[in-house]
Structure 1
């Protein structure tokens, strides 16, 4: 079976998009997702995105990380899908229904409401998620936010000085996080500008993470360190994050299509 794909990215966070809204594809499982995401023997991507029909929204978006795990949200992929669709639309995800709207060379995404309760992150046991009494190596007292998937956020003086390639993996798999966690290391440049590096669960260090930018911005606002709209600078570029009075997060930023192609399903199944 020959299957078409679209290669897209948001600030360098790249995706292989499979569109099954009008054509039925074989079932995606973890081994297939890993094979397609492999940068040496597959197409190569941070996340595999599958678009399907939905009963609760205009269509459904499923998200598989590089290691084959399925996750609830991906902000950069949401912008890419908005650009691909070409019109404002409501999208069902495992983390909830989101609203996306293309805008120029990118898109604006209503990412929904943040969740702060320790059970919603989730954590293995109860604690204050605004200032958590835990630490790893030189990183301590983080905050935690769920924005469709779980994030832990550390504020540091210099993001470049943190060995995220080692401590990120350690924190991601700590028993405190029963569903693992995305690790964000951020520097507050001023009340409207944050610098951010992200270790993404199931993918490792990434050039950009939309949900990480949302979680980090909201946590900074919750702590009184930032205004209600900020620019978050990641290695791949900038995102604008606003947390409205309605408690909903809106993310705006670029996305792009890289190329299109096709593959034989049996080569990866």
Structure 2
């Protein structure tokens, strides 16, 4: 059995995408997905997505983490699957699709390499000591630090993700440094169990946490991650974040066939 797949990346966050409208890939299990995402014995990716039909939307996004388990919302994955849908001819420059956390609107440039994805509204930010905790489609922990480039994100992130508070359900751990004209963010992702080059729901959460120090209004936040640059735009009324958009590149890297 030969199944066609495509590899996409969004600011270094990379994904395997399969058009499941026509795919003959059956009996999908955690072990198979983990094998495909393995960087030594498979294709290598932070996650795998199936694009499927949905009667009420342009398509549905079904996302798996690289450990093989079904995932919560993935922002950069969402941007990549929008680019994939344009490549397949399903959409043109705008779309409404369904993900695990509900419907999403997105727009994409005519060239297909810049995607602005609307994320869920957020009205609750909790604290854990000096850190912030919130859900932007996936749960996130945010801690502001200095000298982020030198931080051992893997060890620090792993320890927080697996502490007594978060080990049951897991949490994504973000560290942020305010660089003045932009935020520098590094993230340890649950499900990948490692630092990734970017995390879309993570940078969205970071921008919201840091915006609490600003005056309400329309806020645009440039973000630097290991894999490039992203931008978060939203309206903030002092307690709620609405019209939230995760903006950044989404590029097809290569295509191939899975042999079974």
Structure 2 CA distance for aligned equivalents of residues 151 and 184 of structure 1: 7
Q: Which segment is superposed worse, 8-17 or 23-32?
A: 23-32
Unaligned runs of 5+ in 1: 118-128, 134-140
> Is the contact between residue 185 and residue 196 of structure 1 (CA under 8 Å) also seen in structure 2?
yes
Unaligned runs of 5+ in 2: 87-91
Structure 2 CA distance for aligned equivalents of residues 27 and 97 of structure 1: 27
Q: What whole-Å deviation, never above 9, does each CA across 1:202-251 have from its counterpart, x for those lacking one? A: 21111111111101001111243997111010011111101125713101
Q: For 2:202, what is the secondary structure of its paired residue?
A: helix
Normalising to structure 1: TM-score of the pair?
A: 0.85
Structure 2 CA distance for aligned equivalents of residues 176 and 100 of structure 1: 34
Instruction: State whether structure 2 residue 256 is matched by structure 1 residue 248.
Output: no
Instruction: State whether structure 2 residue 134 is matched by structure 1 residue 145.
Output: yes
Instruction: State whether structure 2 residue 226 is matched by structure 1 residue 235.
Output: yes
- CA gap of 1:53–1:161, structure 2 versus 1, over 3 A, is same
Other-structure match for 2:9 = 9
Other-structure match for 1:106 = 114
- CA gap of 1:72–1:54, structure 2 versus 1, over 3 A, is farther
Q: Which segment is superposed worse, 7-16 or 227-236?
A: 227-236
1:9 Cα offset (Å) = 0.5
Deviating 4+ runs (over 4 angstroms): none
- CA gap of 1:175–1:54, structure 2 versus 1, over 3 A, is farther
1:260 Cα offset (Å) = 0.7
1:156 Cα offset (Å) = 0.9
Structure 2 CA distance for aligned equivalents of residues 241 and 111 of structure 1: 10
- Match for residue 93 of structure 1 among 99, 105, 119: 99
Instruction: State whether structure 2 residue 140 is matched by structure 1 residue 183.
Output: no
What is the 5 A alignment of 1:195-214? 195-203=184-192, 204-214=194-204
Q: For 1:70, what is the secondary structure of its paired residue?
A: coil
> Is the contact between residue 54 and residue 60 of structure 1 (CA under 8 Å) also seen in structure 2?
yes
Q: How many residues align?
A: 245
CA RMSD of aligned residues (A): 1.9
Q: For 1:160, what is the secondary structure of its paired residue?
A: helix
Structure 2 CA distance for aligned equivalents of residues 216 and 101 of structure 1: 23
Normalising to structure 2: TM-score of the pair?
A: 0.88
Q: For 1:17, what is the secondary structure of its paired residue?
A: strand
Q: Which segment is superposed worse, 59-68 or 220-229?
A: 220-229
- CA gap of 1:132–1:30, structure 2 versus 1, over 3 A, is same
1:61 Cα offset (Å) = 0.8
Q: What whole-Å deviation, never above 9, does each CA across 1:31-79 have from its counterpart, x for those lacking one? A: 1110100111111111111111224422111111111121121111111
Structure 2 CA distance for aligned equivalents of residues 101 and 196 of structure 1: 24
